[in-house]
Amino acid sequence: MTLNQEQAGVLGDIFGLSADEQKWLQVVPYKGTLPTAVPTDPLIYRWYEIVSVYGTTIKELIHEEFGDGIMSAIDFSMDIQRQADPKGDRVNVVLSGKFLPYRTY
């Protein structure tokens, strides 16, 4: 959600944000669209690559475990944590979405 200048100011006061930091609260976030068909940001591209390479496998594993349906992106939560590793810290991402079976009419 994007805040207007007044709302950003209120949160800025609460959290001690500078005027520049408050401006970031007024920027429209990406919501289901990126500026290019294939992401150019390296981190976002890696997510794109994960889905491109493993998406069909993830889909089949979900269908095998739950039956035909989808994972909700609305009733959804995500947890991101640093995982220490001697070869270099790892990013541990857990996605949790409600399973929604396909409806038959």
49 catalytic, yes or no?
yes
**Under 8 Å between Cβ of 62 and 99:** yes
Residues 6+ apart with CB under 8 A from 72: 97, 98, 99, 100
Per annotation, catalytic residue among 21, 60, 72, 90:
72
Q: Is 69 exposed, middle or buried (0-12, 13-18, 19+ CB in 10 A)?
A: middle
Per annotation, catalytic residue among 49, 52, 60, 96:
49
Per annotation, catalytic residue among 46, 60, 90, 96:
46
65 catalytic, yes or no?
no
96 catalytic, yes or no?
no
| Active site positions, annotated | 46, 49, 72
